Amino acid sequence: MSLSGLCQVCESREAKHTCTQCGTAVCDEHFDRTSGLCVRCADTSGKRDVSPTTDEVDEDDFHRI
């Protein structure tokens, strides 16, 4: 009895791990051991929302002298 499953990311290697978050079977290459997540989950864990680009600090620099 063996896990006849391929990595859901590359679909070319044998899945040896299972993501603890989404349950996706992934191979060694696409598994993050430190977090126990697949690369997909590990990738978005750091930055969930893209902060809006509201940087308006340039105006202050003009009045340096």
Q: Say whether residue 39 binds Zn ion (CB under 5 A).
A: no
Which range touches Zn ion (CB under 5 A), out of 27-35, 47-55, 56-64?
Answer: 27-35
Residue 58, CA distances (Å) to 34, 55, 61 in order: 40, 8, 5
Q: Which of 14, 19, 35, 44 binds Zn ion (CB under 5 A)?
A: 19
Q: Say whether residue 10 binds Zn ion (CB under 5 A).
A: yes
Classify residue 35 by its DSSP letter: T
Name which of 3 and 29 has its Cβ closer to Zn ion: 29
* Nearest residue to 29 (alpha-carbon basis) of 2, 5, 7: 7
